[in-house]
């Protein structure tokens, strides 16, 4: 990999001593390190950072009117979440407290005066290269999101149409229709349905990553038994085709504080996995119980089971076990886990090879006390205790 080009970088030099600025400018300009801005005024430094978005700030700590610590806080507040804009502190303060405070306020590196010129150049280059790599990664992510947007518009909807129309034609075929035509339409319906679900999973993962691994939920009081029955109704035809029994075991009147659509999505992923890995004639049970301030929902199957050494990896995106059905992308459990986490809940797996697998997850009970924070299009919650 070629080293990043640092000549187009913008550096902001902040020091109340003009001689220090002259020295730094001479060192950096002589090494071809980008465009240089300088100021002795810490208040102006904040404004210059806002206007020019420098790739690196070299900052003194002790200045009149506004300290370097104040500048660090102001820079951190103006940056977007997840942004990487490094600050190298250059100060005559050699105390551990100054170093620890500066690093705690967001500085990426710390050098004391008088400094070694070679060391300054090495630190500056390292920070600028990291900044450039960050920007390259962000551009790649933005390009991927644009591509996924095209996929969502130009691929997902036609696939849904193919699936729906092939199903409609299958239903209108007469018993005397050609078996070849019937089988071909069935294969078209099944394959397009699988492609549609894969595209939707990829879009869901992209959305989660775009939100920093978090997603939002719209909370309301829901009947848990009804949610389990809804999930069973959606997947019953697939289970019946595999000669599997879907059973719901939940007490009447059990209520949760949850996003009903998201919970059904979680259940759909879990039951879909269970259907894949449960042999013909097996049983899948959707159950729910009250659990302190939460409702625990479980999906248990009588399938092959998961080896113990695989359990720590099952929620990783794109992970698939040795015997996994390779028609999917290994995203279902990762998406389900993120949706449960958005409810302030947790998800875990219990399994024994040859005996089956049970996946448990929790959501807040209807009477739970929760902490709510704003999310994109909804809320993210944390369960505190029973009300």
The per-residue pLDDT for range 1-24, each reduced to its tens digit, is 566 678 789 999 999 999 999 999
Contacts of 25 (CB under 8 A, 6+ apart): 13, 36, 38
- Tokens found for residue 121: 């150049």
Q: What is the DSSP letter of 308?
A: G
Q: For tokens 């809804």, what's the residue?
A: 230
pLDDT cut 70: percent of the chain above it = 82
The mean pLDDT value for 71-99 works out to 91
DSSP β-ladder status, 245-249 and 283-291: parallel
pLDDT cut 90: percent of the chain above it = 39
Can you give the length of the chain in residues?
387
- Mean pLDDT for the chain overall: 82
Give the helix/strand (H/E) hosting 127.
Answer: helix 117-151
DSSP β-ladder status, 10-14 and 35-39: parallel
Phi/psi region, residue 197 (left: phi>0; alpha: psi -120 to 50; beta: rest), is alpha
DSSP β-ladder status, 220-223 and 255-258: antiparallel
Q: Is the pLDDT at 376 greater than 50, yes or no?
A: no
Q: Is the pLDDT at 147 greater than 90, yes or no?
A: no
Q: Is the pLDDT at 205 greater than 70, yes or no?
A: no
Question: 170 in helix, strand or coil?
Answer: helix
Q: Is the pLDDT at 111 greater than 60, yes or no?
A: yes
Which tens digits make up the pLDDT trace of 335-350?
A: 788 888 888 899 899 9
Q: What is the pLDDT of residue 272?
A: 86
Which tens digits make up the pLDDT trace of 178-188?
A: 888 878 887 78
Q: What is the pLDDT of residue 265?
A: 85
Of 184-188, 315-319, 322-326, the least confident: 322-326
The rounded distance, in Å, linking the Cα atoms of 171 and 163 is 13
Q: What is the pLDDT of residue 236?
A: 87
Q: Is 198 within 8 Å of 328 (Cβ atoms)?
A: yes
The mean pLDDT value for 289-305 works out to 90
DSSP β-ladder status, 220-223 and 294-301: unpaired
The mean pLDDT value for 259-279 works out to 88
Q: What is the DSSP letter of 365?
A: B
Q: What is the pLDDT of residue 177?
A: 79
Q: Is 38 within 8 Å of 13 (Cβ atoms)?
A: yes
User: Among 52-56, 150-154, 289-293, which range has the highest average pLDDT?
Assistant: 52-56
Q: What is the pLDDT of residue 163?
A: 79
- Tokens found for residue 370: 């929760």
Q: Is the pLDDT at 94 greater than 60, yes or no?
A: yes
- Tokens found for residue 387: 């009300």
Q: What is the pLDDT of residue 206?
A: 62
Q: What is the pLDDT of residue 370?
A: 56
Q: What is the pLDDT of residue 49?
A: 93
Give pTM, 2 decimals. Answer: 0.52
The mean pLDDT value for 20-32 works out to 88
User: Among 180-194, 230-244, 314-328, 362-376, which range has the highest average pLDDT?
Assistant: 230-244
Which tens digits make up the pLDDT trace of 95-104?
A: 999 999 999 9
Work out the pLDDT band at 137, boundaries 50, 70, 90. Answer: confident
The mean pLDDT value for 100-115 works out to 92
């Amino acid at each position: 990999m070629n080293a990043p080009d640092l000549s187009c970088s913008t550096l902001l030099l902040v020091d109340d001593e003009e001689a220090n600025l002259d020295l730094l400018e001479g060192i950096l300009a002589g090494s071809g390190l980008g465009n240089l801005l300088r100021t002795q005024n810490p208040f102006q430094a904040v404004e210059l950072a806002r206007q020019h978005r420098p790739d690196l700030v070299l900052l003194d700590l002790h200045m009149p009117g506004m300290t370097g610590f104040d500048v660090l806080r102001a820079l951190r507040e103006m940056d977007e979440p997840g942004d990487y804009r490094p600050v190298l502190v250059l100060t005559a303060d050699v105390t551990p407290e100054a170093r620890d405070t500066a690093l705690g306020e967001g500085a990426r590196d710390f050098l004391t005066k008088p400094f070694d010129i070679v060391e300054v150049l090495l630190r500056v280059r390292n920070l600028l290269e990291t900044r450039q790599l960050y920007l390259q990664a962000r551009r790649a992510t933005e390009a991927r999101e644009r591509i996924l947007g095209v996929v969502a518009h130009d691929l997902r909807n036609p696939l849904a149409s193919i699936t729906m129309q092939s199903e409609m034609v299958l239903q209108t075929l007469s018993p005397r229709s050609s078996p070849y035509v019937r089988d071909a339409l069935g294969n078209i319906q099944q394959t397009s349905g699988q492609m549609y679900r894969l595209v939707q999973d990829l879009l869901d993962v992209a959305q989660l990553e775009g939100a920093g691994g978090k997603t939002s939920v719209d909370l309301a009081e829901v009947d848990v038994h009804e949610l389990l029955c809804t999930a069973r109704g959606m997947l019953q035809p697939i289970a019946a085709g595999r000669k599997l029994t879907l059973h719901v075991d939940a007490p009447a009147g059990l209520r949760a504080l949850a996003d009903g659509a998201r919970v059904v999505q979680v259940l759909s992923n879990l039951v879909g996995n269970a259907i894949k890995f449960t042999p013909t004639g097996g049983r899948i049970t959707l159950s729910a119980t009250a659990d302190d301030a939460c409702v625990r929902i479980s999906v248990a199957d009588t399938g092959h089971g998961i080896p113990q050494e695989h359990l720590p990896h099952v929620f990783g995106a794109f992970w698939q076990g040795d015997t996994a059905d390779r028609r999917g992308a290994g995203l279902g459990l990762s998406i389900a886990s993120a949706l449960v986490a958005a409810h302030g809940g947790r998800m875990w797996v219990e399994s024994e090879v040859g005996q089956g697998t049970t996946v448990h997850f929790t959501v807040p009970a209807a009477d739970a006390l929760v902490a709510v924070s704003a999310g994109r299009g909804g809320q993210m919650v944390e369960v505190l205790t029973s009300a």
